[in-house]
Amino acid sequence: MNAVMAIAGATFGEAIRKRILIVILLIALLIILISPAFGPFAGGRGARTMIISFGFGVIQLAGTFIAIIMCTTMIPTEIERRTIYTILSKPVQRYQFVLGKFFGAIGTLGFMYLMMGIVFLIATRFAIGEFDARIIPGLIMFFFQSSLLAAVVLFFSTFVSPLVNYFLSGGVFLLGNLLSSFLETIQRNPEVTPLTRIPVQILTLILPNFSNFNVQNPIINPEQVITDPVAYTVQTLAYALVYMTMLLVLSMLIFNQREM
Amino acid sequence: MSDIAIKTVNLTKRYSGLWSKHPVDAVKNLNLEVYRGEIFGFLGPNGAGKTTTIKILLGIIYPTEGEAYVLGKPAGDPKNHYKISYLPENPYFYDYMTGREILTFYARLFGIPEPERSKRVEELLDRVGLSRAADQPLRTYSKGMLQRIGLAQCLINDPELLILDEPTAGLDPIAHIDIRDLILELRNQGKTLFISSHQLSDVERVCDRVAILNKGMLVRLGKIEELLAGGHVEIIADKVSDNVVEPIRQLGGKVSLHDGRLIVQQPDDGSVDRVIDIVRAAGGHIISVKPYRRTLEDLFVETIQGGKSV
CATH 3.40.50.300 holds for B4-227: yes
Cα gap A203→A187, rounded to integer Å: 14
SS3 B165: strand
Nearest to B109 by CA among B49, B157, B45, B60: B157
pLDDT tens by residue, B227-264: 887 778 899 999 888 888 889 998 888 899 888 899 99
Domain count, chain A: 1
| ipTM score for this prediction | 0.87
Residues of B numbered 201-260 whose beta carbons fall under 8 angstroms of chain A's beta carbons: which are they? Answer: none
- The answer to whether the CB atoms of A83 and B93 lie below 8 A apart is yes
Q: Quick one: pLDDT band at residue A182, thresholds 50, 70, 90?
A: confident
Q: What is the pLDDT of residues A200-259, one digit of tens each?
A: 888 888 999 998 888 766 665 556 667 788 888 899 999 999 999 999 999 999 999 888
For chain B, give every residue range classified as CATH 3.30.70.1150: 232-292
Tell me if B91 and A10 make a contact (CB, 8 A cut-off). Answer: no
What is the structure's pLDDT at A218? Answer: 62
Q: Shortest CB distance from A87 goes to which of B79, B87, B109? A: B109
Residue of A nearest to B57 (CA): A89
pLDDT digits over B129-187, tens only?
A: 899 999 999 999 998 889 889 999 999 999 999 999 998 887 888 888 888 888 999 99
Cβ–Cβ under 8 Å, residues B24 and B76:
no
A83 CB neighbours in chain B (<8 A) are 92-94
Domain with CATH 3.40.50.300 in chain B: 4-227
b/e map of B87-114 (b: 16 or more CB within 10 Å)?
bbbebbbbbebbbbbbbbbbbbbbebee
Classify strands B84-87 and B232-238 as parallel, antiparallel or unpaired.
Answer: unpaired
Q: Hey, are the CB atoms on A86 and B90 less than 8 Å from each other?
A: no
With a CB cutoff of 8 Å and minimum separation 6, the contacts of A205 are: none
Average pLDDT, chain B: 90
Q: How far is A163 from chain B (nearest CA, A)?
A: 20
Give residue A184's domain range.
2-257
Is residue A45 very low, low, confident or very high in pLDDT (cuts 50, 70, 90)? low
User: Tens digit of pLDDT for each residue in A123-169?
Assistant: 988 888 888 877 899 999 999 999 999 999 999 999 999 999 999 99
Closest chain A residue to the Cα of B101, Cα to Cα = A10
**Residues whose CB is less than 8 angstroms from the CB of residue A34 and which lie 6 or more positions away in sequence, other chains included:** none
Homologous superfamily (CATH) for B232-292: ACT-like. Chain A, domain 2 (3.30.70.1150)
Of B62, B88, B108, the CB nearest to A86: B88
